[in-house]
Amino acid sequence: MDEIRRVKRELVHRGKIVNFYEDYMALPNGNTAVWDFIEHKGAAAVVPVTEEGKILMVRQYRNALERYTLEIPAGAVNDVEEPKEKCAARELEEETGYKAGKLEWLMNVNTTVAFCNEFIGIYVARDLIPARQHLDEDEFLNVEEHGLDELLSMIYDGKITDAKTSAALLAYRVKYR
């Protein structure tokens, strides 16, 4: 394959959690094009497994979808330098009120490769230790405990649609069962 080459990147808008750029591209066929690029600082997510093998999930209103979703706990890094594992441990505790006795890397996902660099490190948390839930000021969610088979059914029923959540639950299922 010939190379696609970026000639220039121009900031169009700095948002609260993502920034919008226009990328000026030189294409292998000699043409030029302007492509969208959304910059995200990265995130981590956790599959928290209880002693009974249940999964802790969070239910929250998602403005982008205009509905409630059921997701694994997750959140953005504090800054691009923050290790994903540290972010995962922090988000688990903040959102669910449990610390992870053991945190094991499961997979990495890029959520939207066509236009965004968002990267999520996903971990499995076990040996959960009760701690204190402390949500961000603009974060409102409920914690729920579900069986893995029930959650997998919800993926195939179209009730769970969050990509990181489906990828993580299925990856956990294939790896550990």
A 10 A CB-CB count for 141 gives: 19
Give yes or no for a contact between 24 and 8, defined as CB atoms under 8 angstroms apart: yes
16 binds its own copies (CB under 8 A): yes
Between 128 and 168, whose beta carbon lies closer to its own copies? 168
Q: What does the per-residue mask of binding to its own copies show for 56-85, with x meaning CB under 8 A?
A: -----xxxxx---x-x----x---------
Phi-psi region of 165 (alpha: psi -120 to 50; beta: other; left: phi over 0): alpha
For residues 139 and 44, is the Cβ–Cβ distance under 8 A? no
- Taking the complex as a whole, the smallest distance from the CB of residue 46 to its own copies amounts, in Å, to 15
DSSP summary character for residue 130: E
Q: Which residues bind its own copies (CB under 8 A)?
A: 1-4, 6, 12-13, 15-18, 20, 22-23, 25, 27-29, 31, 33-38, 61-65, 69, 71, 76, 107-120, 137-138, 140-142, 152, 155-156, 158, 161-164, 166-167, 170-171, 173-175
